[in-house]
Amino acid sequence: MKPLVIAHRGANRVAIENSLPALRRAAELGADRAEIDVRMTTDGVPVLMHDATINRTTDGTGRVDQLTWHQLHKRRLQARRGREAAPDQHVPTLAEALETAKTVGLPLCIELKSRGHSPELVRKTVALLTKAGLLESAWIWSFDWHDLEAVRTMTPSLQRGTLSLKWPGADGLRHSEMLVPFAAHQLLVRRRPPEVEGRPLIVWTVNQPWMVRRFLARGVDGLITDVPDRVRALLATAPEAETGQ
């Protein structure tokens, strides 16, 4: 089976990352899933934002966790070179993202981002997924195994993934069903350590054709990419994996 194509922060090369249009475009470009980043405002609203601050992607400044949702909502997303213009786009809430993803039929990989373990972010994310009826299709990812354990405690059926720059440690392995390591590290190793065998392996970020071919040959289960349409086209003409990593 060929790997899943997962749009990184939505289709961020043609739309603003972590925006509602980025999710819609990811579906249009043939992604199997979209990865999004979720943080929480100071008044407890989960929103889509990769960075700790809003400086890079909006017309404002400041830390997400030090701004209220009302303050954040007044800011507008900024289109960068090559992205679709978005004069009226705001930072979306997770609730809005879930509704959009549900409408276009695009399952999500939700990365929890916080300054250390955030039980409240976990609780509100799970509650929103439950309300949207997306517990069965969504995946939750984090670098913090405490967050993943909190997810398991709240809803054991929700699939969890450990994010890591290399291979995850024992705690990360114990608290997740899938592994999501940095692609550059995986190119330096030939085989998975014995303790991670049998777990789905998804790598980030894979954009170049040679990387797609390399990981396809290694039999990975998912490719997180900024160019889902190009990766989809490469996979459509590529042979099935011949060897396992």
pLDDT per residue as tens digits for the range 3-30: 999 999 999 999 999 999 999 999 999 9
Examine the pLDDT at 176 and tell me if it is beyond 50.
Answer: yes
Asked whether the predicted pLDDT for residue 244 surpasses 60, the reply is no
Lowest mean pLDDT of 29-43, 47-61, 194-208, 229-243, name the range: 229-243
127-169 pLDDT, tens digit each: 999 999 999 999 999 999 999 999 999 999 999 999 999 999 8
Comparing CA positions, the residue from 36, 5, 41, 1 lying closest to residue 203 is 5
What is the CATH classification number for the domain harbouring 107? 3.20.20.190
Q: Is residue 161 in a domain?
A: yes
What confidence score (pLDDT) does residue 239 get? 81
Q: How far apart are alpha carbons 210 and 120 in whole angstroms? A: 41
Indicate if the pLDDT at residue 241 is higher than 60. Answer: no
pLDDT > 70 in the chain, percent: 96
Q: Is residue 165 part of a domain?
A: yes
Regarding predicted confidence, which is higher, 127 or 172?
127
φ, ψ for residue 206, nearest 5 deg:
-115, 110
Q: Give a yes or no: residue 83 inside a domain.
A: yes
Number of H helices, E strands in the chain: 9, 9
In this predicted structure, the answer to whether residue 215 has a pLDDT above a threshold of 70 is: yes
What six digits make up the tokens of 238? 């590529």
Mean pLDDT for the chain?
93
pLDDT at position 88, please?
A: 78
Q: Could you give the number of structural domains in the chain?
A: 1
Report the SS3 class of residue 128.
Answer: helix
- Is residue 245 situated within a structural domain? no
Domain that holds residue 72: 4-237
pLDDT (mean) for 23-47: 98
Helices (H), the chain: 20-28, 69-73, 94-104, 119-132, 145-154, 170-174, 183-186, 209-218, 228-237
For residue 107, give the H/E element and its range. none
Q: Is residue 242 included in any domain, yes or no?
A: no
pTM of the model: 0.96
Q: How confident is the model at residue 214 (pLDDT cuts 50, 70, 90)?
A: very high
One-letter identity of residue 145: W
- Scan for tokens 């059926």, then name that residue: 157
Please give the backbone phi and psi of residue 154, each rounded to the nearest 5 degrees, phi first.
-80, -40
Residue 158 CA to residue 211 CA, distance in Å, equals 30
Considering only 9-13, 22-26, 83-87, 182-186, which range has the smallest mean pLDDT? 83-87
Q: What is the pLDDT of residue 192?
A: 83
- Would you state the torsion angle of the CA atoms of residues 113, 227, 25, 79, taken in this order, to the nearest 10 degrees? 70
Structure tokens at 14: 């043609």
| Residue 55 resides in a domain | yes
Q: How far is CA 156 from the centre of its chain?
A: 20
On whether residue 208 sits in a domain, the answer given is yes
Report which of 30, 36, 23, 31 is spatially closest to residue 6, judged by C-alpha positions: 31
- Please give the pLDDT value at position 86: 66
Phi-psi region of 116 (alpha: psi -120 to 50; beta: other; left: phi over 0): left
Q: Would you state the pLDDT for residue 12? A: 96
> Is the residue at 244 inside a domain?
no
Asked if 41 and 35 count as a contact pair (C-beta separation under 8 A), the reply is no
